[in-house]
């Protein structure tokens, strides 16, 4: 069994860490201002004073935080992961970043960890809170084959669809950006379709039921279509986090000279929701921006 440091016990990280603990691994976490999840502590998780101490006491360090600056701070800030590697007595620790961040920054972070003698994987996930709780996440990995082989038993505890996208760091994050483009455009498509049906006088619940049996069926229609109809917009996956991911997509597209017109439209709809106080809404609430344009609510 491995000694695993887990940094980032949020909506996604908490259940992910729980699966690792239930798999028999020793868990080391950073002591937080608010109490660390009671179930993890009851299961034997050890609280540490800093990410540095977590690293010193662990063989594998998993990071699951919101954005690129957060990952950078955890890795290279004062009393961070890098400090734990420098002051540690052994080399070859494996750092796995499961956050969704910049592919470009990921390459830089990996190079710095490699220079300290560590291995690095970028392994962002898809599947949301439900996937994290069920141990059914999709995990998209970039990094060396040997590091992937070491991490695979851990990934198996947290996910179902696990792919080594490539042996270069950053390609896992690139895959996640592509995933977020698809999800955002699917949410927009489902929102427009249900809004159209409702405005035309059809029962959107029955329309969704019918479409689930045809070529338009999708996970977004199944899960988020229901959210739109039932008006259940508690996250889930917050709009502000999906905005962050689309910013990465649009920034990378500019660097590559690629036009992503529908991604830009989806981002504008998210921005309209944020302006209306919805930064913390579930991303399915994009439909609210469409509803305002139509002066009609899906119901």
Question: Catalytic site residues?
Answer: 176
> Residues 192-219, buried b or exposed e (16+ Cβ, 10 A)?
ebbbbbbeeeeebbebbeebeeeeeebe
Residue 16 is encoded by which pair of tokens?
């992910």
Tokens 């996956």 map to which residue? Answer: 237
254, with CB counted inside 10 A (0-12, 13-18, 19+), is exposed
Residues 6 or more apart from 196 whose CB is under 8 A from it?
A: none
Would you say 154 and 19 are in contact if contact means Cβ atoms under 8 Å apart? Answer: no
Which one-letter DSSP state was computed for residue 237? Answer: S
Distance from CA of residue 147 to its chain's centroid?
Answer: 21
DSSP track, 91-118: ---EEEE-S---HHHHHHHHHHHHHTT-
């Amino acid at each position: 069994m491995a000694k695993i440091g887990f940094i980032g016990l949020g909506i996604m990280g908490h259940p992910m860490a729980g699966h690792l603990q239930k798999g028999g691994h020793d868990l080391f976490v950073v002591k937080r201002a608010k109490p660390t999840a009671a179930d993890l502590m009851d299961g034997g998780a050890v609280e540490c004073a800093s990410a540095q101490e977590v690293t010193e006491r662990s063989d594998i360090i998993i990071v699951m935080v919101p954005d690129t600056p957060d990952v950078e701070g955890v890795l290279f800030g004062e009393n961070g992961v890098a400090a734990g590697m420098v002051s540690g007595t052994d080399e070859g620790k494996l750092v796995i970043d499961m956050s969704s961040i910049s592919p470009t920054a990921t390459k830089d972070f990996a190079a710095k960890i490699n220079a300290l003698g560590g291995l690095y994987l970028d392994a962002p996930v898809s599947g949301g809170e439900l996937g994290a709780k069920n141990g059914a996440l999709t995990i998209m990995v970039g990094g060396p084959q040997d590091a992937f082989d070491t991490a695979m038993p851990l990934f198996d505890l947290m996910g179902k669809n696990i792919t080594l996208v490539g042996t270069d760091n950053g390609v896992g994050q690139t895959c996640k950006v592509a995933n977020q483009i698809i999800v955002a455009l699917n949410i927009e498509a489902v929102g427009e379709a249900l809004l159209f049906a409702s405005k035309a006088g059809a029962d959107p619940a029955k329309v969704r039921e019918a479409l689930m049996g045809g070529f338009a069926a999708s996970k977004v229609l199944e899960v988020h279509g229901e959210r739109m109809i039932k008006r259940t917009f508690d996250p889930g996956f917050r709009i502000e986090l999906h905005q962050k991911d689309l910013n990465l997509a649009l920034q990378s597209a500019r660097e590559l000279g690629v036009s992503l017109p529908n991604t830009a439209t989806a981002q504008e709809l998210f921005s309209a929701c944020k302006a209306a106080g919805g930064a913390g809404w579930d991303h399915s609430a994009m439909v609210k921006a469409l509803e305002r344009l139509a002066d009609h609510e899906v119901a």
